[in-house]
Structure 1
Amino acid sequence: MASLVLADQTRPLRLSEQQISRYGQLYGEAAAKRLAAWQALLQDAANLPEPQKLDAVNRFFNQVRFIDDIDHWGKEDYWATPAEFLISNGGDCEDFSIAKYYTLRALGVADERMSLAYVKSLELNQAHMVLTYYASPEAMPVVLDNLIGEIRPADKRPDLLHVYTFNGDNLWLSKKGRRAELVGTSDRLKPWTSVQSRVENNSVNLNSQEP
């Protein structure tokens, strides 16, 4: 049964050699190489223990360039799919977090163990997003962040003020790094429902964006 679940979670992220070749023709050889490396990660990390999966995925995506949405997409706020993020070789904190979330889910990490956390970066004095991972429901989650490469427990990141957190199903208010109060389902977040739909349909919408 576990293999069937893994296959279902992996399906939207799997790209054939023909698809990668086509994206390479459209967006350049470097884009195709990034996509191929991502597909190799999905294959190579599948049987690793979860802490090693977290480390491998965090390191892989933290190599991508950070670019503000307005400069990269010409929009104030755009949540990219992992494929869009890699093809364009850039994105902001939401894009890093979404790519890590979906890749880890495809690697068999349970959805209930992960949350995309909307926080305030106190050092930068601005909104930020990270991915959090709970080894168990009662555990202090660890933070996967594009600002700091080291994966640390949330209580060891005093620079982050947690506001709310969500995953594929639910939305919580958060406090001191943890889920504090369930306030509804995550489909209340329109950018999230949009990116979920595009991931599920394996669609890429880069418009005139250059890689």
Structure 2
Amino acid sequence: MPPPSHGNTFTRRRFLRSAGATLLALASGVDGLANGSMDIERMRTLMIERYGRDGDVALDAWLGLLRDLKDRSTADRLKGVNDFFNQRVRWIDDIQIWGKEDFWATPLETLAKGAGDCEDYAIAKYQTLKRLGIPGRHLRMIYVRARVGRSDLSQAHMVLGYYATPSDEPQVLDNLLPTILPASQRSDLSPVFSFNSDGLWTGGGSPSLADPTQRLSRWREVLQRMSKEGTL
């Protein structure tokens, strides 16, 4: 989702309509994310075939980030990953990047393009932090309504939340602001629902046993593509 200053207030009003529709979809799931070993040569071959030198550079940058942060503290890993994607990825709408109204990209797809929207930032940060050893139960992608400036207008948006414990308020990793802040300091955001590979939560945190890979078709699709490219 573009920063409010871009003046593009409701161009993605269909974002939440689309998300709500996919919540009703039932389909076969796929295995959740895992921290297993990566087949780097397979990843490199695929990225070069798809994106040429841009793909090779994107993969090296991502692998370098993993190396640089692997022995750092959780706080350093959160900040490092948040800064990395916020600085390397330009916000551009899906239709301009992929020719589709709503496309959820893998971290390497986003880096190879050098562009993405709010879902792409959140997915890239989520998967990269999992690769750095942060358990998925501490991370959730959160759909929110983001208030535009000082007005009463809002737009659909996605952020990543880090929960030190299930009962803690999340730290919010966002492409709209460079600083990671606790949710209580983001009064501009109103949660709608959140999810990860293990579950789905409504509103501010009511638990659900729903399998998000069955309810969110785009999440299922991006997991499948990450599996094929070797980043799971």
Short-chain TM bin = 0.7 to 0.9
The corresponding residue for 1:40 is 64
- Structure number with the bigger relative contact order (C-alpha 8 A, sep ≥ 6) is 2
Write out the 4+ residue segments of structure 1 that deviate beyond 6 Å after TM superposition. none
Q: Does 1:65 align with 2:94?
A: no
The corresponding residue for 1:198 is 225
Relative to 1, partners in 2 of residues 1:27 and 1:197: Cα closer, same or farther, differing over 3 Å? closer
Relative to 1, partners in 2 of residues 1:76 and 1:82: Cα closer, same or farther, differing over 3 Å? same
- Count of matched residue positions in the alignment of Structure 1 and Structure 2: 192
SS of the residue 1:109 aligns to: coil
Contact 2:46 2:229 in 1 (8 A): no
One-letter amino acid of the structure 2 residue matched with residue 152 of structure 1: L
Moved more, 30-39 or 182-191: 30-39
Q: Does 1:52 align with 2:76?
A: yes
Relative to 1, partners in 2 of residues 1:11 and 1:200: Cα closer, same or farther, differing over 3 Å? farther
Alpha-carbon distance in 1 for matches of 2:161, 2:49: 36
SS of the residue 1:162 aligns to: strand
Q: Does 1:143 align with 2:182?
A: no
Q: Does 1:131 align with 2:160?
A: yes
SS of the residue 2:35 aligns to: helix
TM-superposition CA deviations, 1:20-59 (whole Å, max 9, x none): 3763475343442232111011112111111110000000
Alignment of 1:68-107 (within 5 A): 68-107=93-132
Alpha-carbon distance in 2 for matches of 1:36, 1:88: 14
1:70 CA displacement = 1.1
Alpha-carbon distance in 2 for matches of 1:133, 1:119: 15
Contact 2:40 2:230 in 1 (8 A): no
Contact 1:115 1:165 in 2 (8 A): yes
Relative to the length of structure 2, the TM-score reads 0.76
The corresponding residue for 2:207 is 181
Relative to the length of structure 1, the TM-score reads 0.84
Alpha-carbon distance in 1 for matches of 2:136, 2:46: 31
Alpha-carbon distance in 2 for matches of 1:137, 1:125: 28
Contact 1:174 1:180 in 2 (8 A): yes
One-letter amino acid of the structure 1 residue matched with residue 226 of structure 2: V
Contact 1:10 1:107 in 2 (8 A): no
SS of the residue 2:140 aligns to: strand
Relative to 1, partners in 2 of residues 1:99 and 1:153: Cα closer, same or farther, differing over 3 Å? same
SS of the residue 1:201 aligns to: helix
Contact 2:139 2:162 in 1 (8 A): yes
Q: Does 1:9 align with 2:38?
A: no
One-letter amino acid of the structure 2 residue matched with residue 168 of structure 1: S
One-letter amino acid of the structure 2 residue matched with residue 182 of structure 1: S
Relative to 1, partners in 2 of residues 1:10 and 1:56: Cα closer, same or farther, differing over 3 Å? farther
Contact 2:81 2:129 in 1 (8 A): yes
SS of the residue 2:218 aligns to: helix
